[in-house]
Structure 1
């Protein structure tokens, strides 16, 4: 089952979910590693270019995910508690918003000097504006958003585990198996 139904997620939604989850944790880890490197470290520039390139790809995946979500039915919430279903919906919207804001702040850091972003040599994302000292303030915002996103993602994962272990419902299983 590729598409979502009112009862479960399809393979495309599940694949996009896990692809982005892996990318976000990987990008967070790479970001933590990058800030420990000095300018003369052999991997300093490569780590930065890799981080930027993956960030652009995550942005494309986010656009695909939002389009897919809009164009497919959203499976009904599993909880009998309407407040819990509403909280889950709001948490998902906040995750999307945080990812988008993180991508924008990363773009601003990378292009504030007028240079474009080279994405693995495949294509370039141009700089749309050049603002002096923008990269410093955008960097602070980027770091704050990254930590906020990771905290929310951990809470999201904990909620899924809670549903699986305590509530014993299919919340976690339906993100692992299409149509469930």
Structure 2
């Protein structure tokens, strides 16, 4: 139930998938909202601190997610999927992961451009390992913004593909990410 099987995803993979989705859309909304905050807003310092803290938590979750993928079997593809659908799905998932990591690294580079560490909810600090590059904050900021929008568009496409499989193809694609499979065979 916790681990993946060749038939479907386990609870750990499913929870991580939906936590990442929630974090991505929440961080996008928070980032979009906070860029227009005025200096005298009560949220002027709080919103960026939350954005950075949750972004670093998302980074840790994604590292764990990669490790989890490496130590768990990948469910077999569904037999009704066309070869082009399988190829597009693989490329789409690769792009989602790559965009997420580059997006988070660019956010880190924005925040550490001045050499200061990033405080995570005031619990601990993540040090600035790379700072002082020419136009670091501006270049990383441009990359961060472009990738944030691109990630939202790609994520929306990912969601639409899942809905297409569920409502038009009527296959188990979406259900596999909603209900964990029992990886232990049941006795009859």
Q: Mapping of 1:20-169 within 5 angstroms?
A: 20-78=20-78, 79-131=80-132, 132-169=134-171
CA distance in 2 between counterparts of 1:73 and 1:97 reads 21
Match of 1:177 among 173, 176, 179: 179
Deviation string, structure 1 residues 46-78 (Cα, Å, up to 9, x no partner):
000000000000000000111111111111112
CA distance in 1 between counterparts of 2:116 and 2:86 reads 44
Deviation string, structure 1 residues 11-51 (Cα, Å, up to 9, x no partner):
00000000000000000000110112122221111000000
Unaligned runs of 5+ in 1: none
Q: How many residues align?
A: 180
The structure number with the bigger radius of gyration is 2
Query: Displacement, 1:80?
Result: 3.3
CA distance in 2 between counterparts of 1:55 and 1:34 reads 14
Deviation string, structure 1 residues 83-123 (Cα, Å, up to 9, x no partner):
21121111111100000000000000000100000001221
Query: Displacement, 1:168?
Result: 0.2
CA distance in 1 between counterparts of 2:123 and 2:75 reads 36
CA distance in 2 between counterparts of 1:82 and 1:71 reads 26
Point out 4+ residue stretches in structure 1 off by more than 4 angstroms. none
Helix, strand or coil for the counterpart of 2:19? helix
Corresponding residue for residue 3 of structure 2: 3
Helix, strand or coil for the counterpart of 2:5? coil
The answer to which structure has the higher helix fraction is: 1
Query: Displacement, 1:133?
Result: 2.8
Q: TM-score if structure 1 supplies the norm length? A: 0.97
RMSD, matched Cα? 1.1
Unaligned runs of 5+ in 2: 183-188
Q: TM-score if structure 2 supplies the norm length? A: 0.93
Query: Displacement, 1:157?
Result: 0.1
